Amino acid sequence: MQPTSSPPEHLILHRGEEQSNHVRQTVAQLEPKSLRTYTPSLAVIQRSAGCYHWTPEGRMLADFTSGVLVANLGHNPGSWWARLLGYLGLDHPDFAQPFIPLVPLTSYNAATELEADACRRLIDLLQSQPGGARCEQVLWAASGSEAIQKALWCALACGGDEPIILATRDGFHGKKGLAGAVTGNEQSPERDPRVRFISFPKKECESVQARRQPLDLEPYRRELDQLWQQYGSRICCLITEPYLGGGGSYHPQKEYLQLLQQFCREHDVVFILDEVQSNFGRTGPLFAFTHYGVEPDIVVLGKGLGNGVAVSAACGRADVLDRLDYGACSDTFSGNPLACAAVLATLDEFEQQNVLEHAAELARVIEKGLLRLTETPVVARVRGEGVVWGVECAPVGNHSADEVANACVLACYQGDPSGRAIHLLGPLAGNVLRISPPLVMPLDEAELYLEAMYEIFSTLGENLRG
Ligand X SMILES: Cc1ncc(COP(=O)(O)O)c(C=O)c1O
- Interacting stretch for ligand X, rule CB under 6 A, among 50-58, 270-278, 353-361, 406-414? 270-278
Of 43-51, 161-169, 273-281, 444-452, which part binds ligand X (CB under 6 A)?
A: 273-281
The answer to the question of residue 145 lying near ligand X (CB under 6 A) is yes
For residues 51 and 362, give the distance between their C-alpha atoms in angstroms, rounded to a whole number: 13
Q: How far is the CB of 219 from ligand X (least distance, A)?
A: 24
Q: Which of 41, 72, 261, 277 binds ligand X (CB under 6 A)?
A: 277
CA angle 263-264-267, nearest 5°? 85
Collect all residues with Cβ–Cβ distance below 8 Å to 30 and sequence separation of at least 6: none
Give the per-residue contact string, 119-138, with ligand X (x = CB under 6 A; - = no).
Answer: --------------------
164-168 vs 60-63, strand pairing mode:
unpaired
From residue 291 to residue 310, what is the string marking binding to ligand X with x (rule CB under 6 A)? -----------x--------
* Shortest distance (Å) from residue 309 CB to ligand X: 12
209 vs 212: CA distance, rounded Å: 5
Please tell me whether residue 184 binds ligand X under the rule CB under 6 A.
Answer: no
Task: Say whether residue 406 binds ligand X (CB under 6 A).
Answer: no
Provide, rounded to whole angstroms, the least separation between the CB of residue 430 and ligand X: 16
* 72 CB-near residues (< 8 Å, 6+ apart): 66, 280, 281, 282, 303, 304, 307, 355, 438, 439, 440
What is the per-residue binding string for ligand X in 415-454, x denoting contact by CB under 6 A? ----------------------------------------
Q: Which residues pair with 195 in a beta bridge?
A: 165
* Only segment of 199-207, 269-277, 337-345, 394-402 that touches ligand X (CB under 6 A): 269-277
Please say which residue, 239 or 456, places its beta carbon nearer to ligand X: 239
Q: Annotate each residue in 222-241 with x if it binds ligand X (CB under 6 A) or - if it does not, as one string.
A: -------------------x
Cα–Cα distances in Å, from 160 out to 233, 235, 269, 319? 8, 9, 12, 15
To ligand X, the closest distance from the beta carbon of 405 in angstroms equals 18
Kindly state the smallest distance separating residue 6's Cβ from ligand X, in Å. Answer: 32
Query: What CA–CA distance (Å, rounded) separates 210 from 365?
Result: 20
Minimum CB separation of residue 290 from ligand X in Å reads 17
Distance CA 439, CA 286 (A): 11
Q: Is 172 in the site for ligand X (CB under 6 A)?
A: yes
Query: Using CB atoms within 10 A of its CB, is residue 57 exposed (0-12), middle (13-18) or buried (19+)?
Result: middle
Give the DSSP H/E element, type plus range, for residue 316: strand 312-316
Q: Which of 63, 170, 206, 274 binds ligand X (CB under 6 A)?
A: 274
Using CB under 6 A, which of 174, 201, 377, 386 touches ligand X? 174
By CB under 6 A, the count of residues binding ligand X is 15
| 282 near ligand X, rule: CB under 6 A | no
The whole-angstrom separation of Cα 252 and Cα 258 is: 11
Whether residue 66 contacts residue 52, with contact meaning beta carbons closer than 8 Å, is answered with no
Residue placing its CB nearer to ligand X in the complex, 243 or 350: 243
- For residue 64, which of 370, 398, 303 has the smallest C-alpha distance? 370
Does 276 sit near ligand X (CB under 6 A)?
yes
Span of 144-152, 159-167, 213-221, 405-413 interacting with ligand X by CB under 6 A = 144-152
Task: Please check whether residue 64 is in contact with residue 420, taking contact to mean a CB–CB distance below 8 angstroms.
Answer: no
- Residues 22-47 as b/e (b if ≥16 CB within 10 A, e otherwise) read ebbeebbeeeeeeeeeebbbbbbbee
The least distance separating ligand X from the CB of residue 141, rounded to whole angstroms, comes to 9
Which residues of this chain interact with ligand X, rule CB under 6 A?
68, 143-145, 148, 172-174, 241, 245-246, 274, 276-277, 302
